[in-house]
Structure 1
Amino acid sequence: MDLLIKNIGILFNGYKFIRDTSVYIENGLIKSIGKNERAEEVIDANGNFVMPGFIDSHTHIAFAGYRDFEIEWKIAGLSYEEIARRGGGILYTVEETRKASEERIIKEMEERAREMFMHGTTTIEVKSGYGLDKKNEIKLLEAINELKSNATIIPTYLAHAIPHGYDSEEYTGYVIEEILPEAGKLARFADVFCEKGYFNVEQSERILKEAKQHGMLPKIHADEFSCMGCSRLAAKLKAISADHLLMADDESLMEMKKAGVVATLLPATPFVLNEEYPNARKMLNMGLNVAIATDMNPNCYVGNMQFIIQLAVYKLKMPIVDALKAATINAAKALNLKDVGSIEYGKKADLIIFDAPSPNFIPYYIGKNLVKTVIKEGRVYSQ
């Protein structure tokens, strides 16, 4: 089956804008751009904007139990740690997730993934992390692997928090000895929440090094609330990405650049926590590959990458072209993916056709889903 998308007003190919062009797709792959091809199926873009499908490289959609009750605490100025002490936070979600069946978790994940796909996301990374004990972490990873979605799903094991009954050192040993050998059979990446009150730098390093022995590539939640050397650890381990980075210092960021670590920024998280935003312009000027993602989780319940681009433009002060790169080709790098993220010969045909004439409309038209058609590996899904 072949497909031609013609009359594209502006095409973003993952790197730059191309005007008045077309894309030819065969057997789910990009075959040519801008050539006069014939195809069994033809879509007329009517002068609208086309770009690669969004890649959401950091999500926590594998959970049960919502935390909408935290909103009043947030607007009252309570910190992340204070909310946790009042009974909210990660450990509340852990309790609710442990009570839920795998079937319920799969069903709720599928609903979230469906909504994300409708908003243009064709690849979704999904972390565990709300089980904490071996039984429930494996339950979550199995659920992630069972998830049926039009989007590609990338499973990640996350050492997320210290459960009741353990100190951080005891739990680090438990993760290494009990969870990682099984998680390695189910996850492509391993991630650690490296932060005060969670895992320190030395514990994070031990977990990620051991995870690599079980076939998982390292990622890290780094320097979100404090600068404690987590982004420097990402550079030392040559992690695929370091995420959050609100408090990362310049020296650590430069080490990340030299090590090829992608800086993944999650602007919806400071948005819902009323915190300062990371300095994306500085990272871009340093030459870092900057990605953006939703961080969708029960604390930050947003799965719409169009909104994340809006935050990236208005709050992170990212030029539109850099925000689009961050949501596509750089997000692919944050997942070590070579076959998606741009519209190039031989890559998977994951594309979005917008009901808008230019990329400017994504940050300009706030609150509307501008996606008209999603194409996933050559299959057409119209809204």
Structure 2
Amino acid sequence: MPYQEIARRGGGIHSSVRDLRGRSEDDLFALARPRLERLASYGTTTVEVKSGYGLSLDDELKTLRVIRRLAERLPMRIVPTFLGAHEIPLEYRSRDGGRAEYVRLVTEAMLPAVAAEGLARFADVFCEPGVYTLEESRVLLEAARARGLGLKLHADELEPSGGAELAAALGAVSADHLAAVSEAGVQALAASGTVATLLPGTMLFLGRARQAPARALVEAGVAVALATDFNPGTSPTVNFPLVLTLAVSQLRLNASEALVAATVNGAAALGLADQVGQIAPGFSADLALFDAEDVREIPYWYGDRLCRGTWARGVACHPYEPRVACAAFAPEDERTGPPSEPSPR
């Protein structure tokens, strides 16, 4: 069933909204913490966490407060993004004038409250036919910018709709997805400072044949970043090295381009290129140690967890795991004795 049809029937994002609205802050914190720890175990040290499954003033603020609490208590670098314009809630879709009413709620109530509490660094909008129109997206992003938030955009994920061009025109820090970006969108991004964040795991999980045109973006001079898009509906993976595999095998990036997209350009997509994404003097000690002799092994051993430890700001966010061989597989001269036999019962 197509993504849009699932949403029309009340599934997808709407299903997650029903779930989140019934949960407390403590419940959400307890669910999120082990997920972040699993992300760290695959080498991720910086995570952008978006809201967008509350779609009401109280539930969006609840989500962002949980994200702030996670950022205060975990060593990982967590960047909060307000995504109140992730969908039009079903209760607004079902009545005349509901779309415009919800857009006003986001611009006149949610954004001021988010800004007043300092709960987000960025604001994002799902600009897609059937979700938010190009003009609605512009209104929402301009309202966010007026409140001091940086801009991001879900752009041209399923159909070409001009999202990339809008992101470039507004100076968004990133345009995310871009699986259906047009040639005009590629050129608009190339002429801007907007980073193209590609999410190949999403298209894989949705079973769609078309991925973002990474080669065209790179060759046009666009800065390309990669991310998991870890979410309940379209990319439930914490395995960032697997995304590097998809970048090479599906997006046709070479290993060096994929590595740059995962580090330096990923930092740029969060406005952090002067702090993280490089091992260099003056940069934060955000490090991941992999059990590999060559960096190309990270995408090569697809699905494997080669990460042995991660540190953010020099503090362990995934404890160091030395490689330990099972005694049964050790060379005979290194064994302490034969593998023990189970006792008969």
- TM-score, scaled relative to structure 1: 0.78
> Is 1:289 aligned to 2:223, yes or no?
yes
Higher relative contact order (CA 8 A, sep 6+): 1
What one-letter code is carried by the residue in structure 1 that aligns with 2:80? P
Measured in 1, the distance between the counterparts of 2:9 and 2:100 equals 24
- Give the equivalent residue in structure 1 for 2:327: none
Match of 1:126 among 22, 43, 49: 49
- Give the equivalent residue in structure 2 for 1:180: 111
- Give the equivalent residue in structure 2 for 1:301: 236
Measured in 2, the distance between the counterparts of 1:366 and 1:268 equals 13
- Give the equivalent residue in structure 2 for 1:99: 22
- Give the equivalent residue in structure 1 for 2:288: 352
Shift of 1:373: 2.3
- Give the equivalent residue in structure 2 for 1:372: 308
What one-letter code is carried by the residue in structure 2 that aligns with 1:291? A
Deviation string for 1:83-102 (max 9, x for gaps)? 22344200010000000111
Are 1:225 and 1:247, in contact at CA under 8 Å, matched by a contact in 2? yes
Aligned sequence identity (%): 42
Deviation string for 1:332-352 (max 9, x for gaps)? 000000200011111001111
Q: RMSD of the TM alignment (CA)? A: 1.1
Measured in 1, the distance between the counterparts of 2:125 and 2:110 equals 13
SS in 2 for 1:259: coil
- Give the equivalent residue in structure 2 for 1:19: none
What one-letter code is carried by the residue in structure 2 that aligns with 1:314? S
- Map 1:41-190 → 2, pairs under 5 A: 78-147=1-70, 148-158=73-83, 159-166=85-92, 167-184=98-115, 185-190=118-123
- Give the equivalent residue in structure 2 for 1:221: 154
Shift of 1:161: 0.2
Measured in 2, the distance between the counterparts of 1:379 and 1:128 equals 26
Structure 1 gaps of 5+ residues are: 1-77
Tell me which protein shows more strand as a share of its residues.
Answer: 1
Shift of 1:198: 1.0
What one-letter code is carried by the residue in structure 2 that aligns with 1:160? H
Measured in 2, the distance between the counterparts of 1:88 and 1:379 equals 40
Are 1:142 and 1:186, in contact at CA under 8 Å, matched by a contact in 2? yes
- Give the equivalent residue in structure 2 for 1:237: 170
SS in 2 for 1:129: coil
Tell me which protein shows more helix as a share of its residues.
Answer: 2
SS in 2 for 1:155: strand
What one-letter code is carried by the residue in structure 2 that aligns with 1:164? L
Shift of 1:362: 1.1
SS in 1 for 2:91: coil
- Give the equivalent residue in structure 1 for 2:213: 279
Measured in 2, the distance between the counterparts of 1:324 and 1:168 equals 41
What one-letter code is carried by the residue in structure 2 that aligns with 1:344? A
SS in 1 for 2:90: coil
- Give the equivalent residue in structure 2 for 1:67: none
Measured in 2, the distance between the counterparts of 1:85 and 1:378 equals 46
- Map 1:246-261 → 2, pairs under 5 A: 246-261=179-194
SS in 2 for 1:88: coil
- Give the equivalent residue in structure 2 for 1:326: 261
Are 1:240 and 1:334, in contact at CA under 8 Å, matched by a contact in 2? yes
Deviation string for 1:253-301 (max 9, x for gaps)? 1111211110000001000101111110111101100000010000111
Structure 1 stretches of at least 4 aligned residues deviating more than 4 Å after TM superposition = none
Deviation string for 1:161-183 (max 9, x for gaps)? 00123232221111101100012
Structure 2 gaps of 5+ residues are: 93-97, 322-345
SS in 1 for 2:243: helix
What one-letter code is carried by the residue in structure 1 that aligns with 2:33? E
SS in 1 for 2:231: coil
